[in-house]
Amino acid sequence: MTDTSKPDVLYTIVDEAPELATASLLPIVRAFAAAADLNVGTKDISLAGRIISTFPESLTDEQRQSDDLADLGVLVKTPDANVIKLPNISASVPQLVAAIEELQAKGYALPDYPEAPATDEEKAIRARYDSIKGSAVNPVLREGNSDRRAAKAVKNYAQNNPHSMGTWASDSKTKVSSMAGNDFYANEVSATITAAQAGDAKIEFVGKDGAVSVLKDVWPLEEGTVADATFMSAKSLASFLAEAIEDTKADGTMFSLHMKATMMKVSDPIIFGHAVVAWLGPVWDKHGEAIKAAGGSPNSGLGDVLAAIDSMDNAAEIKAEIAALDRPSMYMVDSDKGITNLHVPSDVIIDASMPAVIRAGGKGWDEAGNKGDTNCVIPDRSYSTIYDEAINFFKANGALNPSTAGAVANVGLMAQKAEEYGSHPTTFEAPADGTIRVVLANGETLHSHDVEGGDIWRSCTAKAAPIQNWIELAMDRQRLTGSEAIFWLDENRGHDAQLIAIVKPALEAAGVADKFQILAPREATAQTLKTITAGDDSIAISGNVLRDYLTDLYPILELGTSAKMLSIVKLMKGGGLFETGAGGSAPKHVQQLAEENHLRWDSMGEFCALGESFNFLADSKGNAKAGVLGRAAEEATQGILDNNKSPSRKVGEPDNRDSHYWFARYWADALSKQTDDVELANHFGPIAEALIAGEEKIVAELAAAQGKPADLGGYFKTDPEKTAAVMRPSATFNEIIG
Ligand SMILES: NC(=O)C1=CN([C@@H]2O[C@H](COP(=O)(O)OP(=O)(O)OC[C@H]3O[C@@H](n4cnc5c(N)ncnc54)[C@H](OP(=O)(O)O)[C@@H]3O)[C@@H](O)[C@H]2O)C=CC1
Ligand SMILES: O=C(O)CCC(=O)C(=O)O
Ligand SMILES: [Mg+2]
């Protein structure tokens, strides 16, 4: 629910594990902030909240909710923004459907998700739901470029307390497989829009008969925008996937597919669907139409297809045919429950999944729960080379040593829906054989591709001001650190060649060209791994997709998790967006909490973001008390690290809630000891004492909660009272905070 008072800082209400953590941490934050006359408000950007706010006409007054995402989208374009953003669900269709069903069961009279919309009304409902699907939050809020790095204290901690790493054998059969051609990488063309070309462009499909149909009628292109177009051939993709399955069998490894079906919400579910079809092979050829008629959609995963088959009269026959297929083993999401890599498009998400394989020494888990090598299938080559090169490097050199490795920070071009992550409205499956072209406002054809029916065509942009801002941010970070700094750009790619033509003169004009390298992703990976292996640091200056991939890959190798990252988005209009960590909402953690009341979520990202947010408030608004709170929060974060108070993974050991107690205690202690603000020191003195004196009782009360199932009253929309009871089980602690 939205706060009506004017908040100084906004904290987002999200989903899954970070939302559970919020139930414990936010009351502490609010209590501490209130002592400094600061108001921490909330904005609900959870999947359930976004669904509810989209269909007010179906709901009662009590059920209705304001469109907090839209409000935040406006706020981040003002200098007043100070937002702490936790990770939220970017829903795949199966997740969206599950959330709708849960809300319906709770009495929300929402329309069903129309899988195959027929009427205009169904099409309109589908369009509204599709705006909630996939990565619908981050692109709205990210009105600035990203600066992600490990705080010095966090990096030092990781070096002194190295996490476990799998070993890499030089004869590991784990590898990355990508298409040889006719992928997005091969077909990309790009241009920078001139003044004469600027205006509203159109995207058109021209059939073999010359008939023109409009795919996108208004596509605004400003001067200076880098505008790309590319496509992936559906036929080449299908034959590549069929070969990859055979190749995996020949290797005796397991098949795994690594996509970003959440964030690339239009293109990647289609590619995922091709993989499901390839896996089913002759069974799909024979029964595909009937399965589709029964409501099964490969783009929603094998789970959806199998559920549709279950509803068919010849289910047993089809299932026997599937079981008789000669297939390699498959990489599993949950071998105990029989959930494969191909079951749900959002279960295996490349930024988290590839680092997990690499950290484990190239291992995945098969149907029987056995650990083994895997063929990592990443069809498009634009970015797959970073994983291929990393795997080659570790096979040759052994796993990275977290005790000695240097740090990789990232400066990511992300503002204003930059690059592929902004391509959803301009991605199309070719309706038939023909041509797809971009026609500019002045009538000129900018890009044109001959396509076949089913080819996946997409266009995306990066605007001029965000590109300049990104280059400046890179120069700032390099100057402040003196680190090696690499622009991860490939001169052989259409888009990257345009960026290089902007980056090079900008660096030269600033007189800093000698401080930077420009390397293609494969070469940049090799160079970066060499640098950090030698104990030195590197700054990866990258586009939006690589930002996403690199800020999980390197933190997971260096720190064991990307949850501990500092993730700052300096908004272009002067505000601040502080993202917590670089990972997601950890659905597995919720499962563990529900089963045994242990939450292993690490709030280090939230702790870091809190310090940054209060310090930013101090700097941007001259609020001295916020500065005192911010500096003390940094000391508390240091205290968590110095004293090993981060959550453990196992039930019966300290968890997320314990770490919040320690954070509050160190925070209060630092506030009571500082001398910049006597009033705050006096206020927090007794609180710090009470927290210290209550340690034994509080820790015992928190421990007593663990070991039995926890009832949250829902998954996508939990019951606030039940959740508070689960997440705040220490009466002693609550009383001190209250
Ligand atoms: N910024 C955002 O809004 C983001 C949202 N997402 C969304 O999150 C969901 C899950 O995505 P997925 O790719 O599975 O990635 P996650 O990052 O949620 O999970 C991968 C693994 O990373 C570890 N992990 C992540 N965060 C933490 C943390 N704070 N503390 C401890 N461990 C952590 C966990 O490992 P272990 O299980 O071993 O403990 C977890 O299982 C999806 O809906 C996705 O769209 C994803 C990325 C960013
Ligand atoms: O928006 C999303 O779906 C995920 C974002 C993400 O993974 C990231 O920014 O690192
Ligand atoms: Mg990511």
Residue-wise pLDDT tens digits, 214-270? 999 999 999 999 999 999 999 999 999 999 999 999 999 999 999 999 999 999 999
Q: Judging by DSSP bridges, how do beta strands 434-439 and 445-451 pair with one another?
A: antiparallel
State if residue 544 touches ligand 2 by the CB under 6 angstroms criterion.
no
85 labelled ligand-binding: yes
Q: Which long-range contacts link 217-220 to residues 24+ away (Cβ below 8 Å)? A: 219/426, 219/438, 219/459
State if residue 268 touches ligand 2 by the CB under 6 angstroms criterion.
no
Residue 457, both tokens: 């065509």
Instruction: Tell me how far CA of residue 149 lies from CA of 146, 159, 326, 409, 691, in angstroms.
Output: 10, 15, 45, 5, 32
Q: Please name the residue whose Cα sits nearest to atom 6 of ligand 2.
A: 548
Q: Are 640 and 646 in contact (CB under 8 A)?
A: yes
Q: Please name the residue whose Cα sits nearest to atom 10 of ligand 2.
A: 548
667 labelled ligand-binding: no
Q: Are 330 and 366 in contact (CB under 8 A)?
A: yes
State if residue 346 touches ligand 2 by the CB under 6 angstroms criterion.
no
Q: What is the predicted pLDDT for the residue at 5?
A: 63
Check residue 83 and report its DSSP letter: E
State if residue 351 touches ligand 2 by the CB under 6 angstroms criterion.
yes
List the one residue out of 547, 475, 561 whose CA is nearest residue 142.
547
Q: Say whether 666 sits in a helix, a strand or coil.
A: helix
Residue 738 to residue 723: CA distance in whole angstroms: 17
Q: Say whether 146 sits in a helix, a strand or coil.
A: strand
Q: Are 473 and 570 in contact (CB under 8 A)?
A: yes
The closest ligand to the CA of 601 turns out to be 1
Q: Are 617 and 79 in contact (CB under 8 A)?
A: no
Q: Are 498 and 190 in contact (CB under 8 A)?
A: yes
589 labelled ligand-binding: yes
Dump pLDDT digits (tens) for 508-536. Answer: 999 999 999 999 999 999 999 999 999 99
Q: Are 23 and 62 in contact (CB under 8 A)?
A: no
Sheet with strand 199-207: strands edge to edge:
212-221, 199-207, 434-439, 445-451
Q: Please name the residue whose Cα sits nearest to atom 42 of ligand 1.
A: 89
**Three-class HEC string of 226-292:** EEEEEEECHHHHHHHHHHHHHHHHHHCCEEEECECCCCCCCHHHHHHHHHHHHHHHHHHHHHHHHHH
Residue 641 to residue 152: CA distance in whole angstroms: 11
Q: Are 340 and 332 in contact (CB under 8 A)?
A: yes
Q: Which of 85, 556, 561 to mutate to test the pocket of ligand 1 (most atoms within 8 A of CB)?
A: 561
List the one residue out of 425, 567, 413 whose CA is nearest residue 503.
413
Q: What is the predicted pLDDT for the residue at 2?
A: 42
What value, to the nearest 5°, has the Cα angle with vertex 532 and ends 526 and 534? 105
H or E element at residue 541: strand 538-542
List the one residue out of 257, 259, 261, 278 whose CA is nearest residue 269.
261
Q: Please name the residue whose Cα sits nearest to atom 9 of ligand 2.
A: 548
Q: Judging by DSSP bridges, how do beta strands 371-377 and 566-571 pair with one another?
A: unpaired
466 labelled ligand-binding: no
State if residue 135 touches ligand 2 by the CB under 6 angstroms criterion.
yes
Residue 22 contacts by C-beta under 8 Å, 6 or more apart in sequence? Answer: 11, 13, 14, 86
- Give the chain's residues under pLDDT 50: 1-4
602 labelled ligand-binding: yes
Residue 338 to residue 366: CA distance in whole angstroms: 10
- In sequence order, the β-bridge partners of residue 516 are 485
Q: What is the predicted pLDDT for the residue at 10?
A: 98
Instruction: Tell me how far CA of residue 732 lies from CA of 388, 665, 690, in angstroms.
Output: 52, 13, 10
Residue 492, both tokens: 């052989």
Q: Which residues surround ligand 3, an ion (CB under 5 A)?
A: 351, 548
Q: Are 339 and 347 in contact (CB under 8 A)?
A: yes
Residue 93 to residue 103: CA distance in whole angstroms: 15
Q: Say whether 11 sits in a helix, a strand or coil.
A: strand
Residues of the chain by 3-state class (helix, strand, coil), percent to 5: 50, 20, 35
Beta strands in 324-400 (DSSP E): 329-330, 332-334, 339-340, 363-365, 371-377
Residue 220 contacts by C-beta under 8 Å, 6 or more apart in sequence? Answer: 199, 200, 201
Q: Are 105 and 115 in contact (CB under 8 A)?
A: no
512 labelled ligand-binding: no
Reported residue count of the chain is 738
Residue 261 to residue 281: CA distance in whole angstroms: 22
Q: Say whether 395 sits in a helix, a strand or coil.
A: helix
Q: What is the predicted pLDDT for the residue at 706?
A: 98
Q: Which of 14, 138, 556, 589 to mutate to test the pocket of ligand 1 (most atoms within 8 A of CB)?
A: 589
Residue reference for tokens 């100070």: 82
Q: Which of 265, 354, 544, 548 to mutate to test the pocket of ligand 2 (most atoms within 8 A of CB)?
A: 548
Q: Please name the residue whose Cα sits nearest to atom 47 of ligand 1.
A: 584
431 labelled ligand-binding: no
Which ligand 1 atom sits nearest the alpha carbon of residue 604?
A: 29
Sheet with strand 226-232: strands edge to edge:
189-192, 226-232, 456-462, 427-429
Q: Where are the alpha helices (DSSP H) in 482-543?
A: 494-509, 521-533
Q: Report the predicted TM-score, pTM, of the whole model to 2 decimal places.
A: 0.96
What value, to the nearest 5°, has the Cα angle with vertex 260 and ends 254 and 263? 165
325 residue type, one letter: L
H or E element at residue 682: helix 678-693
Residue 130 to residue 299: CA distance in whole angstroms: 14
Check residue 419 and report its DSSP letter: G
Residue 229 to residue 189: CA distance in whole angstroms: 5
Q: Please name the residue whose Cα sits nearest to atom 8 of ligand 2.
A: 548
Residue 619, both tokens: 């700097």
Q: Please name the residue whose Cα sits nearest to atom 21 of ligand 1.
A: 586
State if residue 89 touches ligand 1 by the CB under 6 angstroms criterion.
yes
Phi and psi for 320 in degrees, rounded to 5?
-65, -40
Residue reference for tokens 């509204």: 128
Q: Are 523 and 509 in contact (CB under 8 A)?
A: no
State if residue 582 touches ligand 2 by the CB under 6 angstroms criterion.
yes
